[in-house]
Amino acid sequence: MKTAKEPEAHGVGAGSDEAIIARVVAGDTAAFEAIVRRWQSPLVNLAWRFCRDRARAEEMAQEAFLRAWRNLGQFRGESAFSTWLFALAANLYRTELRRIPATMLSLDEIAEPQDPMVAGLAFDESSRDESLRRAVLALPEKYRDAILLFYFHEQDVPAAARTLRIPDGTVKARLFRGRELLRRKFSGARRKTRSAGPAAQNAREAESR
């Protein structure tokens, strides 16, 4: 399965996930460290996408690993371990976000320029990208999850669908709708940035001279 970052190969407990899991289930708790080292980056990054707070992302990822460790006996190998792990983690992160939302802002409050002049100057590509990422978190949950998982899995719809445990078609529909909401929002912000206010007008004139 494609992920935001491929698992790191470490000397500790090198071997397939299934072999390591068998050892852990047999009572070798230390073998679980190989699983943690292999999957820490994807799980922390997935959490990061859900909350955009490094400390909280690591806390949530740690809880996901603990939950995985507790439920390792329930892993039957019917799917890849990564599928099982990501589904478990995504489910936990969504529950956590329902409990304590990542942002208290609504979609209407995201990326709206207060002063069109200032916002126009600052609305460069990187800040626009960051605003877009934060705006994703303000989307309704089902659109947010589809977009986050789709990009986390490097734009792999089936992988996102497996993690969310919903059909591919549902993921596609939610992606489309979520993008539409974001596009509408950001297009409005751009139009305001470009046209609103005499300050912006002066700036455009100054640039054209």
Partner 1 sequence: MKPNLTIPKCSTPELTDGEFDRALAADHDAIVPSSGFADSVMAAVSHETSAPVPLAFPWVRALPGLVAAIVALGVLIAAIVVLLQSAPARHAAGLSISLQTFSAPMFRQAPDVLWLAVSLAISAASLLFCRRLISSR
124-131 long-range contacts (CB < 8 A, ≥24 apart) are 128/186, 131/186
What gap in Å lies between CA 28 and CA 111, rounded to an integer?
50
Q: Does 20 bind partner 1 (CB under 8 A)?
A: no
Contact 199, 42 (CB under 8 A): no
Segment near partner 1 (CB under 8 A); pick from 75-83, 85-93, 103-111, 184-192? 184-192
What gap in Å lies between CA 59 and CA 107, rounded to an integer?
26
In whole angstroms, the minimum distance from the beta carbon of 6 to partner 1 comes to 10
Contact 186, 135 (CB under 8 A): yes
Segment near partner 1 (CB under 8 A); pick from 83-91, 93-101, 102-110, 145-153? 145-153
Give the count of alpha carbons within 13 A of 127, CB side only. Answer: 13
For partner 1, the binding residues (CB under 8 A) are 3-5, 29-30, 32-33, 36-37, 40-41, 44-45, 48-49, 54, 57-58, 61-62, 65-66, 69-70, 120-121, 123-125, 128-129, 132-133, 136, 147, 151-152, 154-155, 179, 182-183, 186-187, 190-191, 193-194, 200, 202-204, 206-207, 209
